[in-house]
Structures are given as structure tokens and as C-alpha cells.
Amino acid sequence: MQFEVKISLEKERYSSYIEAVKPDLDANVGRSKTRVEEGDGFFYIYISSPDTVAMRAALGSLTRWFKVVKDIIEGID
């Protein structure tokens, strides 16, 4: 059994976030696999994990990456 999550983010608001973490998004994070796709006005982040522990870890990593980017962007503005 695989667990999957799809996260939708507005391009206009999150393009700088995605560009900053894209190398990490298109890689395996521990036992999870992530990928990012672009659609009409949105970025879609897909996370696939073999269990809930790996999914939680992948979501935690993603959250930390975006927090770091947010802190940097706010520090520059």
C-alpha cells in the first residue's frame, strides 16, 4: 500500500518558494518520493510514501523548507 498526498499552491503566490526548493522537491526524501508539476495557475506537489511515518517526515521536511524560504523572503523585503 502506498500513501499519496497532492498539494495545490497558487503560482502567483508561491512561485519563488517553488523555485527555491525545486531541487529538493524533485528528489526522494527518505523513503518518500516527491515531484512537482505546473498547471493552469497552480503548482502541484505530489508525495508518495510507503507508510504514514514516512509521509509525516516528508510533510515535515516540506513545511520546514517553505518556512526557511518565507523567513528569507521576509528578511529581504
| Nearest-angstrom CA–CA distance, 73 and 57 | 24
In this prediction, residue 77 carries a pLDDT of: 58
Do 35 and 21 meet the contact criterion of CB atoms below 8 Å apart? no
Q: Which residues of the chain register pLDDT less than 50?
A: none
Structural domain boundaries of the chain? 3-76
CATH code linked to domain 3-76: 3.30.310.50
